[in-house]
A and B are shown apart, each in its own frame.
Chain A
Amino acid sequence: MTAYILCLILFSLGIYCAVSKRNLIKIIVGVAIAEYAVNLMFVLVGYRIGGVPPIFAAPGEAQGAMVDPLPHALVLTSIVIGLATTALLAAIAMRIYRKYGTYDVNEIRELRG
């Protein structure tokens, strides 16, 4: 339970960073932190204390608790998706820097109202 709560705190920190920071790069970092918090939580959901990997070397060998392998597969997908969004956001931030000459959102204000 403590681990879950820590994950949620990390998630909140990431969201807070993305919402409150004024620098485009820091906003991207905030989004990435929130992303990692969610991924971490997903892995923890599959974890069992004292669990073994669900691999059968010989029939009837597996004893006791096994960790849930499904979240691991899903987290890999989720990480790849996160990579795509982060790369796209970073690319857009670079293009913005080329147009405006700054990463400060206070000075990037074409759209109003």
Chain B
Amino acid sequence: MTHTLMPLMIAVPLGGAFLCALMGKRTRALPDAMGFLVTLLTAAGAVYSVSLVKSADTLVYSMGGWRAPVGIVLSLDGLTALMLVTVNLVAFLVAIYARGYMERYTSKRLFYGLFLLMLAGMNGVVLTGDMFNLFVFLEIASVASYALVAFGTGKQELEAAFKYGVMGTIASLFILLGIILLYARTSTLNMADMAAALAGGGGDVVPLVTGLFLAGFGLKAALVPFHAWLPDAHPSAPAPISAMLSGVLIKSLGVYAMVRVLYNVLGVAEVSETGSPFTPLIVLGILSMMVGVVLALGQWDMKRLLAYHSISQIGYVILAIGIGTPLAVLAGLFHLFNHSIFKSLLFLDSGSLEQATGTRDLRRMAGVGRKLPVTSGSTLIASMSIAGIPPFNGFWSKLLIIVAAVRAGHSWSAFWAVLASILTLASFTKVLRYGFQGGGAGKRLRELAAVPLSMKVALVLFAVICIGGGLLLLPSLRDLFLGPAADALAGGTRQLGFVLTGGAS
């Protein structure tokens, strides 16, 4: 079955980006309206895609009517739908928030232009069924994000953006090199065709390519040996962009692309009932989990602390997917969704705090809790969610990951997961204790800038999703949203085969 929703998910933000950048100078109100409208449309489209997957299982769109494997195809299955919802939902709420927050920067039209460009790139990465197309969209999103990190053009922003840019470009080169080697071996760029060709012998380049992809996508996802750029880049960006980078960019460019290629194209890792652990992912996961949280403990800069926690939480996702039982994969994807919600919320909160108090240092904002009820309330919810306190969404996914690890016989992984969770709790106790309560300097901050309404709306909506996120595990909702996503990875190298058979335009 074919559907025009898929190209529109890329074309609408791409068109919006150009319109914003070109026309925004003349019409002042355009960028805000455009940012809101475009993200609203893509979010609605993403939710609609879930029902499409439910009714038709899998969908293919052939670009320009050229059928696979000759032309470029877009494909939609459960995993893609999950990523689309995650990316576009966060983007929509962030766009609402940015309306108020970005007033203090000079150029809203450039901000929204880059923001929508990044969104188009991420949607493209999750939708495409073509390896080189994946690289192109990955670079669109990456280049937009380098520019967004430097958006403030202060000393720190520029330094972080340069570091991020160099690391990101090197990561892209590793990925491109892997794609070239695969093309040289299989003479095709279509993911499904490539998977079939590799399964039928000629897979001697696979170990080398796996290594290149682990390094490349690992750099994009900031897994631990490759994480050095993230704690600089994410805090330096404006708060809405920090939320997008930590919330969805490292997941769609890093985690999604990595697992899609490893499971559905190369077939080096697979999902099975009896458990088929993929050791590199498990090792990277545990390392990221522990190193991230330990480094976070010592931070006093709120955004930097949150950035280190992103590394740690991505470790959970990678660990769970690496364990490779259906339950573990489901838990990992659930945690991916949850993390994008609560981490975006935390970064937006840090932005509100920074706007109100003029500092990101926890010690200097101490005691600010009473004066900013919405911000401190939503921070409390998000902190409990990330630390895994019931009944918030983070609790359910962490519990599932630990249960799945124990049932698959990975007691050591489960032990590290529990330990990292306790340290996370300790770290966020510090945030709440020093940042919001107590009679510190924050109480003396007489003139707190008011937090605009649009920012409050976004915070409240995120907090509501944090509270209600656990409901996604109810059987009826699970079969609709998380189940098909986990099934897509379980489908292995035959998963994308529908692209070749059903590619009529």
- Residue numbers of A with Cβ under 8 A of B are 11, 15, 18, 24, 27-28, 31, 34-35, 38, 41-42, 45, 68, 70-71, 74, 77-78, 81, 84-85, 88-89, 92-93, 95-96, 99-100, 108, 110-111, 113
With contacts A45-B184, A71-B183, A81-B136 taken as known, whether A96 is within 8 angstroms of B158 at the C-beta atoms is yes
Residue of A nearest to B184 (CB): A45
Inter-subunit contact B155/A78 (CB<8 Å): no
28 contacts between A and B (CB under 8 A): A11-B173, A11-B177, A18-B166, A18-B170, A34-B173, A35-B169, A42-B176, A42-B180, A68-B187, A77-B132, A77-B136, A78-B176, A81-B136, A81-B139, A81-B143, A84-B143, A85-B139, A85-B143, A85-B146, A85-B165, A89-B162, A89-B165, A92-B158, A96-B159, A110-B155, A110-B156, A111-B163, A111-B236
* Cβ 8 A contact of A111, one of B143, B160, B170, B172: B160
* Cβ 8 A contact of B183, one of A45, A77, A85, A92: A45
Q: Indicate if B270 sits at the interface (CB-CB under 8 A).
A: no
A84 CA to B140 CA, complexed, in Å: 10
A96 CA to B158 CA, complexed, in Å: 6
> In the complex, how many angstroms separate the beta carbon of B212 from the nearest chain A beta carbon?
11
Inter-subunit contact A111/B232 (CB<8 Å): yes
Find chain B residues with CB under 8 A from A27 CB.
166
Within 8 A of A (CB), among B287-310: 298-299, 304
Inter-subunit contact B150/A95 (CB<8 Å): yes
A53 CA to B76 CA, complexed, in Å: 37
- Residue numbers of B with Cβ under 8 A of A are 132, 135-136, 139, 143, 146-147, 150, 153-156, 158-163, 165-166, 169-170, 172-173, 176-177, 180, 183-184, 187, 189, 232, 236, 298-299, 304
Find chain A residues with CB under 8 A from B150 CB.
92, 95
Extra pairs beyond A35-B173, A92-B162 (7, CB < 8 Å) = A27-B166, A38-B177, A78-B176, A89-B166, A99-B154, A110-B155, A110-B156
With contacts A27-B166, A38-B180, A71-B183 taken as known, whether A88 is within 8 angstroms of B173 at the C-beta atoms is no
With contacts A81-B136, A111-B232 taken as known, whether A88 is within 8 angstroms of B176 at the C-beta atoms is no
Inter-subunit contact B180/A89 (CB<8 Å): no
Interface of chain B: mostly helix, strand, loop or mixed: helix
A81 CA to B135 CA, complexed, in Å: 10
Find chain A residues with CB under 8 A from B165 CB.
85, 88-89, 92
Residue of B nearest to A8 (CB): B177
A110 CA to B143 CA, complexed, in Å: 23
Find chain A residues with CB under 8 A from B173 CB.
11, 34-35, 38
> In the complex, how many angstroms separate the beta carbon of A71 from the nearest chain B beta carbon?
7
A108 CA to B166 CA, complexed, in Å: 15
A99 CA to B159 CA, complexed, in Å: 10
A96 CA to B163 CA, complexed, in Å: 12
> In the complex, how many angstroms separate the beta carbon of B398 from the nearest chain A beta carbon?
28
* Cβ 8 A contact of B143, one of A11, A88, A113: A88
Find chain A residues with CB under 8 A from B159 CB.
96, 108, 110-111
> In the complex, how many angstroms separate the beta carbon of B146 from the nearest chain A beta carbon?
6
Find chain A residues with CB under 8 A from B160 CB.
111
A95 CA to B158 CA, complexed, in Å: 7
A36 CA to B91 CA, complexed, in Å: 35
A89 CA to B162 CA, complexed, in Å: 6
Find chain A residues with CB under 8 A from B304 CB.
113
Find chain B residues with CB under 8 A from A38 CB.
173, 176-177, 180
> In the complex, how many angstroms separate the beta carbon of A5 from the nearest chain B beta carbon?
13
> In the complex, how many angstroms separate the beta carbon of A37 from the nearest chain B beta carbon?
8
**Which residue of B163, B184, B298 has the most chain A CB atoms within 10 A of its CB atom?**
B184
Inter-subunit contact A100/B155 (CB<8 Å): yes
With contacts A42-B180, A74-B132, A110-B156 taken as known, whether A24 is within 8 angstroms of B162 at the C-beta atoms is yes
> In the complex, how many angstroms separate the beta carbon of A75 from the nearest chain B beta carbon?
10
User: What 6 pairs across the A-B complex have the smallest Cβ distances?
Assistant: A45-B184, A111-B232, A81-B139, A110-B156, A96-B158, A92-B162
Residue of B nearest to A93 (CB): B162
* Cβ 8 A contact of A15, one of B161, B162, B170, B183: B170
* Cβ 8 A contact of A85, one of B136, B153, B169: B169
Find chain B residues with CB under 8 A from A108 CB.
159
> In the complex, how many angstroms separate the beta carbon of A6 from the nearest chain B beta carbon?
14
Find chain B residues with CB under 8 A from A81 CB.
136, 139, 143
A113 CA to B183 CA, complexed, in Å: 41
Find chain A residues with CB under 8 A from B176 CB.
38, 42, 78
> In the complex, how many angstroms separate the beta carbon of A25 from the nearest chain B beta carbon?
11
> In the complex, how many angstroms separate the beta carbon of A42 from the nearest chain B beta carbon?
5
